[in-house]
Amino acid sequence: PKTRAMLINSPMNPTGVVFSSEVMTALAELDIPIISDEIYADLSFEDPPCSFLSYSPQTVAIHGFSKSYAMTGWRLGYMITPLEWMSAADRLHQNLMISATEFVQEAGIWVLQKSKAYCESMKTEFNRRRRFVLERMRELGMDLGYTPTGAFYVLYKYRDSGKSSLDLCHEVLEKTGVAIAPGRDFGLGAEGFVRISYAQSMENLDRALNLLAESMLL
């Protein structure tokens, strides 16, 4: 009863999970404001992108250009919010950032108008890498136990070695040269897991997975 709002992320970082329509409906039935981080929405590989705005009017939808248009570092994004919440959001925005620089805004306009074909090809390539990583991990005995269908991450539960995810990631980097992210970065519930990104070339992904398997650290 004290919950003021819920923050969700779909497709999800770090798991690559995309919420089903049933999950979205159940969340909407809670009848509380939902802050929906949809930065990976255009990287949903098995179902069309779906905003939580379609499920509840009490939604603040947050999106940006960094993932859909490969504009990481440009710091360009936007928010869709109910009109009655706009005044508070505007005050927060004015004090934190005011606006994106002009050339960044112009770049955003350009990609919205002219980059659809490129973005579709990028999505197709990410999906190819996703399928490759899932198949290769199974072949190497690193089964995930679930199928990620969005973003460009997988979350892998490593064998119980008594090491924290942070210590393990440091050891993996030192011994193999492969950088993976510790589960602890994503909350206490993700300790015991590591995040692997497939935002790399197929050649690098194949080499990295082979090195991880050969190291026997995971």
What is the tens place of the pLDDT at every residue in 153-208? 999 999 988 999 999 999 999 999 999 999 999 999 999 999 999 999 999 999 99
Q: Is the pLDDT of residue 23 over 90?
A: yes
Among residues of the chain, what percentage have pLDDT more than 70? Answer: 100
The whole-number pLDDT of residue 97 equals 85
Burial code of 26-44, b = ≥16 C-beta within 10 A, e = fewer?
ebbeeeebbbbbbbbbbbb
Domain boundaries, the chain: 6-114, 117-215
Query: Do 176 and 215 touch, CB atoms closer than 8 A?
Result: yes
Task: Determine the CATH number of domain 6-114.
Answer: 3.40.640.10
Q: Output phi, psi for 70, to 5 deg.
A: 55, 45
The tally of CA atoms less than 13 A away on the side-chain side of residue 108 is: 18
| CA atoms of 27 and 7, how far apart (whole Å) | 11
The whole-number pLDDT of residue 184 equals 97
Task: Determine the CATH number of domain 117-215.
Answer: 3.90.1150.10
pTM: 0.92
Q: Is the pLDDT of residue 51 over 80?
A: yes
Least confident of 25-29, 64-68, 92-96, 136-140: 92-96
141-153 tens-digit pLDDT:
999 999 999 999 9
Q: Which two tokens stand for residue 148?
A: 């990620």
Q: Is the pLDDT of residue 98 over 90?
A: no
The tally of CA atoms less than 13 A away on the side-chain side of residue 62 is: 13
